[in-house]
Amino acid sequence: MNLFLTGTDTGVGKTFVAALLTRALRAAGFGTLALKPLCCGEREDVEILRAASGCVLTNEETNPIWLQAPAAPLVAAKLENRILSLDVLETWFRDLSQKYPSLLVEGAGGWLVPITPEQTLADFAARLALPIVPVVSNRLGCLNHTLLTLESIRARGLHCPGIILNHLTAPSDAATRATRETLEQSIPILLEIHPAQGSISHSDLAGFLDKDWR
């Protein structure tokens, strides 16, 4: 089970979802490790993913590029006079994939966030050719963000088996319920995550694994 977890925007809860899913997959016997190729700002997300992965990897193995500013990778790299390379990131991933059979790669920010002046996170994901799973926060604007993200993923010929819908607040009002129903008409919802959720149930994980991962 290998996949690339992206976001429709920043602050949609990718790391929370990635940690939940990693723990569930490890409990199911996959030995999954969560990776974060690019981290901008505090490195707390890396620690969370490393802990969810059973501390098998070091921080540097989990996260090869750490930039200090909480900004898009291209902007943060410019502030440090650094030039980022997709070749370096691809080599890092290929080396790990030869040692570990199940890797979950968490992107940085949204799908088209720039990494270099000419390349985006989507270009990096295309190199890895993993199934792409967007994390969507059920909030105002998510329909537009989700449809644009899906359009871009499909335009690159990449496979998206579905989305993970993350509720940052309890889905108690009619608008959030209607948004969920509308999203489901366009793309399968692989998992639905609720605030403070501590784990993914066996039945929900089974449904997740039963989708078209090609």
Residues with active-site annotation:
36
Which residues make Cβ contacts (< 8 Å) with residue 96, sequence separation at least 6? 33, 35, 57, 61, 103
The answer to whether 133 and 3 are in contact (CB under 8 A) is yes
Closest CA to 2 of 102, 96, 100: 102
Residue type, 45: D
* Contact present, 94 and 11 (Cβ < 8 Å): no
Identify any residues that bridge with 66 across adjacent strands, giving them in sequence order: 39
**Residue 131 DSSP symbol:** P
Q: How far is CA 163 from CA 17, 58, 71, 94, in A?
A: 11, 29, 25, 25
